[in-house]
Amino acid sequence: MAFENSAENIRLLTFFVNGEQYCADISTVTDIIKIPPITFVPKLPDFIRGVINLRGKVVPVGDIAMRFGMEPEDYDDHSCVIVFSIRGTSAGLIVKRVGDVIDVTQQQIAPNVSQTSFISDIVTTEEGTFLKKINLSEIAEA
């Protein structure tokens, strides 16, 4: 269910990490699922929580808060795993809450020049609030 982005319009999935709203390009997102049982895999960085069985595929899942260097959140029944494809395989990110899907234009996106964090751009919404945009594939790469 990948959405096509035109050159002008970009569809973003928003989600919350530690109360703050982030967003990411939805085009690589394949699933948003409730947190399934996670099998712990030893000898990996802490933020990788383990692997899940997604329709017969073994998909690694990471904790986005821990990836950002924050404390893991208390996840509940409404928390989700955002599954996206990268380099031909899948990966999942655990988030506390998934928000709306929004459409923005290229003009609303301002790149983050500092490049010291995972935040690639800052998106100004129609309401005038700022959203931190992340690049999902960057999160998954070591």
Partner 1 sequence: MAKFDEGMESMLDTYIFEENQLLEQLDEILMRTEKADSILPDDIAEIFRIMHTIKGSSSMMGLANMQKLSHAVEDLFSILRDKPDTPYDKQTLFNLVFDASDSLKNEIDVITDDSLELTDFTQQIARIRAYADVMKNADTVADEPLETESIFIDGESDEILALCVKYTESCLMPSVRAMILLRSLGNVCEVTRTIPADLDADNANDIIAKNGLYIKLICDDKDAVLNTAKNAMNVETAFWYENKSQPAPVAPKAEEKISIPQEQPQPEEKSQPAQTAPKKDSKSADKSSIISVKLSKLDALLDLVSEIVITESTVTSSPDLKGFEGRLEQFNTAARNLKKLTDELQDVVMSIRMVPVSTAFSKMSRVVRDMNQKLQKNVELKFVGEDTEVDKSVVDILNDPLMHLVRNAVDHGIEEPAERERKGKTEKPTVTLRAENVSGEVVITVEDNGAGMDHNKILEKAKRKGLLRKAENEYTKQEALSLIMRAGFSTNENVTEYSGRGVGMDVVKQNIEKVGGKLVVESDLGVGSRFVIKIPLSLSITDVMQVSVGATDLSIPIASVKEIFKLKPETLVRDTEGTELVMIRGRCYPVIRLSEYFAIEGETDNLEDGIMIFCEDDHMRACLFADKLIGEQQIVVKPFSPLLTQYNITESGLSGCSILADGSITLITDVKTIISNIFED
- Closer to partner 1 by Cβ: residue 48 or 122: 48
- Closer to partner 1 by Cβ: residue 131 or 134: 134
- Closer to partner 1 by Cβ: residue 2 or 44: 44
Q: What is the DSSP string of 91-138?
A: EEEEESEEEEEEEEEGGGEEE-SS--SSEEEEEE-TTS-EEEEE-HHH
CA 89 and chain centroid, separation: 15
Which parts of this chain interact with partner 1 (CB under 8 A)?
37, 39-45, 48, 51-53, 55-56, 58-60, 86-87, 89-91, 140-142
Phi, psi angles (nearest 5°) of residue 136: -60, -40
- Closer to partner 1 by Cβ: residue 52 or 94: 52
Least separation in angstroms between CB 55 and partner 1: 7
Least separation in angstroms between CB 44 and partner 1: 5
Least separation in angstroms between CB 91 and partner 1: 5
Least separation in angstroms between CB 40 and partner 1: 6
Q: Which amino acid is at 69?
A: G
Burial 100-130 (b: 16+ CB within 10 A, else e): eebebeeebbeeeeeeeebbbbebeeeeeee
